Structures are given as C-alpha cells and as structure tokens.
Amino acid sequence: MKRLISPISPISLPHTNPQKSLLFHLLHTQTPPIQPTQTSPKPHLNPTQIDPLNYLLTFIPQIKALSQNPRNHIALTTLDSLLAQAHVLNSSSLLIVIHYLCQIKKLGRAKDVFLKIKSKGQVKDCFLFSLVYDCLVCNGKIYDVEIVWNELCGDDLKFDVSDYVIYVCKYCGGDEIRGVFERVVRGGRVLRKESYGALIGALCRENEGGLGKEVVRVMRDAGFRVDCFSYYVLFRCFCRNGEVDEADWVLRVLVKRKFQVDICVYGNFMHALCKTGKFREAKKLFFRLTKQDIVGGFKKGESLKEGRRVIFQLKCEDNVPKMLAYETYFRSLCDMGRLDEAEVLLKKMMNSRTVPEICVYGSFIRALFVADRDKDAIRFFQVEKKKGLVRVDEIASYVIMGLCQKGNLDEAVKLFDETASLGAFFNCSNVCNCILGNYWKRNRLAEAEHLFRRLKNGNYGVLPDASMYEIMVKGYCNQSDVANTLLLFQEMVDRKIVVSCALYEVIIRALYSRGSVREALKYLNKMVESGNIVSSTRWKMFFSSTFVALEHSFSSDV
C-alpha cells in the first residue's frame, strides 16, 4: 500500500550521510517508530510506555508533512492523536513538541502542550515565561507576550516581564541580554526600577556602556531617579573600555550627587587614560593623588567647570592614601605594557617602608610574561621570595599561571609542587585549574587524572570545586570517554555541586555524537528540570545545533 507520509525508511537512508546513518543505527537496534499510512493514520502508542525518541521520530514527520502541505488531513489526524498522548512525556520532550508546533504556526496546539508542562510543575516560572516570549509570541510586541502569558497562567504564577528581565540579566549571556533590551526597553514597556538597574549592570558586564546609558535615559523619561550605584557601574564600564569622555560625563553626575570619590574612582579613570594613550594626563593625575601637584580643586558650593575634566577639579588629598595611589598608577602602567616606567615606580614603592599589596607583584609578573620576559619574571619572583616580605604561595601563583600560558608546563608544575610542599596554597583553585587545563590541552591525560585524584584526597588542602570538575568532564568528552564523563557527573550530583548549563551541554553533545540519543535526551531533560537553563532562547539554539539528525533526516523526501 502506498504511504502518504514516509517518516523514516531505513532502506532509503544512505550511509554516506552521517546524520541519517545515526538514525539508521537507532532504528535497527531499538523499537522502531510508528509508520502511519493512509489506512492507519493513528499511531497506537501505549501511554504508560511511550519512549521519547520513538515518539519524536513519529511526531516530526507529521510536522514535515504539514510544513509542506498545511491541509494534509492524514498528517493532521496523526499529529492530534500523538498530542493526545503528550501528557505522559517528560518536560524536555514537551518543549521539543512546542518548538516544532510553533514552527508550523500551530499555536493553539502549542498552547495546550504549554499547559501540560505548566501542570507538571517541574519547570521554573522564568523558563515558562521565556517559552511564551521566544516561541509562542516570538515576533510579537512585548505587550502581546504579556497577554498570552496572562491567558495561560492567569493568577497561578506571580511572574511578569520585570521579573524575566532580572532573570535574564542574572543568568543569561550577552545576546539574550541585548535581545531583552531591544524588545522590552525599546519596545516601550515600562519596567520596575530594580529591573532597569539589573539591565544596566548586565549591559555593562557585557561592555555595552552605550546601551546602559540609553537605559538610564529611559529610566529618567519614565520618572525614575537613577541611583548612584547604577551610575558608578556605568562609569566603570566606560573606564574599562577606554571611553574617557563618557566616563567624565558620568563622573560629573556622581560628583553633583555628592558621591564619595575614592581610590576606586581615581583608579578606574587612570586606567581609562592609560588605555587611550593619554599617559601625560594619567601621570598628572598620579601627581595630584600623591600631593605632588595640589593646584586648584573643587570645593563644596562651587560649580564644576565645563570643558575641563571633572577628575582634575576634585580635591583628592584627603581621600587617597599615598601607597594606594602608587599601586593604582603602577597597575595601570603594567596593564598597558609600560614596564620601564612601572619598574621605576616599583623601586620607589620598595624603598618606602610600606609593603605593596600582592596585586602589585601580580600585575608586574603578568606584564613581564606578556612582554616575553619570562626569565625576568622568574628572577623577580626569586628575589622577592628571598626577601620574605610576601607569602611565597601568593606570588608563586602568578608565576605558575604565567608559565602555563607560555607553554612551560613542566616548569610550572615543578614550582607548584615546591610551593605546595611548604603548606596550604593560596588561590589553589585557580592555579590547579590552569595546570589541569594545560594537561588536557597537551593530551597528558594520566597527569591530569593524577593531579585531580590528589585534589580529591585533600593533598592540597582543598577539594575539587565545580570549575575543576568542569575541566575534567570537558577533557574526557574531548577524548570521547563518556563512561568517565558520566562518573564525574554523578560525583558532582552526589556532592551537591551545581552543574552548569554549559557542562550539561558538553555531556549531551558527547552522548549524542556517539549515537546514545536516548541517553542524550534523558540528560537534556535533567538540564531543563534542574532549572540550570533559564532561557528557551538558549535551549532552542542548543537543541537545533545538537540534535540535527532528528531534523535533517526529514529534510528530503525519503
């Protein structure tokens, strides 16, 4: 009998296509999906025994058929029969169903499936909102999103767009944050004050000071008073990016608000001056801070002059300790690679009776490594080690990480072992991460495992944290060692270490790439129900880029 829809025909899957070969393997080693025909359009799946993969392999061909012909009665009947059994699927499988239904504009059916997810109570409110925001109303205005959200959730969930903005700002990446800014803020939606503050902070974290400034304007237009902390975050962002004029504008606002201008403000502005090559101005500011130039100064009751940088109109001699001024200027010079000037300044600091902070030593060592002066960095470390003015392990950590970054791994490990033998290691996590990462980069598996085992045994006074586990898991995944990957994952769960969304993605890709699609779908569901992914935008991108065989197998008539 002739089939109207051919979801998957194993005979027609050419082995030259890796995606179809994967499904060929699945369908020959596991229960095949239902094959609907003209005479039997309804799949007979036992609701208590539905396998997510078989369900999807039966469901997706109907989506394919309806995308080609929306009036395909057989496909639509089969689709509705499948949707009637969707309530027994797990949360992740239901998300996949919604994803495909929205692709063919079957929004009413997608809403029904959404209610099934909501009734399970296993997915966070923020993710449910993002599902409406990004799938059900993906091209609509933010007001349309709220209408659909209220229609589906009513008074059940006390969650709104302002809450969603805060969640995105806290947990999501730059693209999603910028997307929220474009759609919500530029869409004209007035948010709560704390949501605007979170958005300013998140945009500045992504070095989007210009967009952060626009949020400030929107806040003021909406009648909100922007707090000094938001202005300060914006100021730091402009300084970090070297946008001196913009930073000066924000500083003017802060001074008028009587904001306490301390060494952090001066240090950030000095960094901005150095980053843009304005070293004469940076030196002038340093002289002001060290009382070598005390001409002028802004007094209470006076107005700030236009056309002159605010930082040079301030009286700073009472706010900044001299040693902090030296350290701030020194670190700015090191960051810009001005080592000759930094070295002269360091000698002046060393000649004083005050020992500089460890960050000063670290800045100098980092700068030496960046300038390919590795031997000078090691020599400097040895000299300071003999002086005994700073903890050996603190200064050694900078040298070890510098050696790792330059590829001198054996020398770095030798120094690490020598230093660790002296006692507890400061900043052990960062140093071990650096060494572990370089072991994997150079395929030195046995040594990576040995170091990790010693860490687990407490040899270095600290147990492996989430970042160390993540390096090991990614290393095993790159080696296609899924067994050890899953063992470490279970260790993290047993130790109640939070598994990041990124790590879930690495594990799922590893499982999928070796053909363990059922297992990959299982971990995809764990990722969703654990609450570690808060945005359907990221979920959609990950699903579409990873589970390609599920889609590409139906990209041509078979």
pLDDT tens per residue across span 224-263: 999 999 999 999 999 999 999 999 999 999 999 999 899 9
For residue 48, what pLDDT is reported? 56
The pTM of the full predicted model, rounded to 2 decimals, is 0.85
**Residues 6 or more apart in contact with residue 90 via CB below 8 angstroms:** 52, 525, 529
Calculate the average pLDDT of the chain.
86
Q: How confident is the model at residue 466 (pLDDT cuts 50, 70, 90)?
A: very high
> What value does the mean pLDDT take over residues 17-36?
43
Instruction: Give the length of the chain.
Output: 558
Q: What are the φ and ψ backbone dihedral angles of 314, each rounded to 5 degrees?
A: -95, 145
- Per the DSSP assignment, residues forming a β-bridge with 314 are 298
Mean pLDDT (whole number) for 202-212: 97
Select from 542, 554, 527, 550 the least CA-distant residue to 92. Answer: 527
**d(C-alpha 29, C-alpha 48), whole Å:** 22
pLDDT of res. 526: 94
Percentage of residues in the chain having pLDDT higher than 90: 68
Say yes or no to pLDDT of 1 above 80: no
Report d(CA 203, CA 267) in Å as an integer: 22
Q: With 0-12 CB in 10 A as exposed, 13-18 as middle and 19+ as buried, what is 23? A: buried
pLDDT in the model for residue 35: 45
Mean of pLDDT values over 357-372 = 93
pLDDT at 350: 83
For 353-382, what is the mean pLDDT? 92
Q: What is the pLDDT of residues 109-148, one digit of tens each?
A: 999 999 999 999 999 999 999 999 999 998 888 999 999 9
pLDDT band at 425 (very low <50, low <70, confident <90, very high): low
- Predicted confidence (pLDDT) at residue 61 exceeds the cutoff of 50: yes
- Cβ atoms of 398 and 365 within 8 Å: the answer is yes
Give pLDDT, residue 63.
94
pLDDT confidence of 391, banded at 50, 70, 90? confident
Report the distance separating Cα 379 and Cα 402, nearest Å. Answer: 13
Q: What is the DSSP string of 223-279?
A: TPPPPHHHHHHHHHHHHHTT-HHHHHHHHHHHHHTT----HHHHHHHHHHHHHTT-H
pLDDT at 47: 54
Q: 3-state class of 390 per DSSP?
A: coil
Cβ count near 100 (within 10 Å): 21
> Is the pLDDT reported for residue 424 higher than 90?
no
Which residues, listed in sequence order, are joined to residue 298 by a DSSP beta bridge? 314
Ranking 28-32, 169-173, 370-374, 405-409 by mean pLDDT, the lowest is 28-32
Q: Look at residue 471 in the predicted model and tell me its pLDDT.
A: 96
- Confidence at 356, pLDDT banded by 50, 70, 90: confident
Give the confidence band of 46 by pLDDT, cuts at 50, 70, 90.
low
Distance, first Cα to last Cα, the chain: 16
Closest CA relative to residue 536, chosen from 102, 154, 145, 99: 99
Q: What mean pLDDT do residues 525-540 have?
A: 90
**pLDDT single digits (tens) 269-299:** 999 999 999 999 999 999 989 876 555 555 5
d(CA 5, CA 7): 6
Percent of the chain at pLDDT > 70 equals 86
Cα 329 to Cα 154: distance, rounded to the nearest angstrom: 57
Q: Confidence class of residue 78 from pLDDT cuts 50, 70 and 90? A: very high
**269 near 325, Cβ under 8 Å?**
no
- In this structure, what DSSP letter does residue 444 have? -
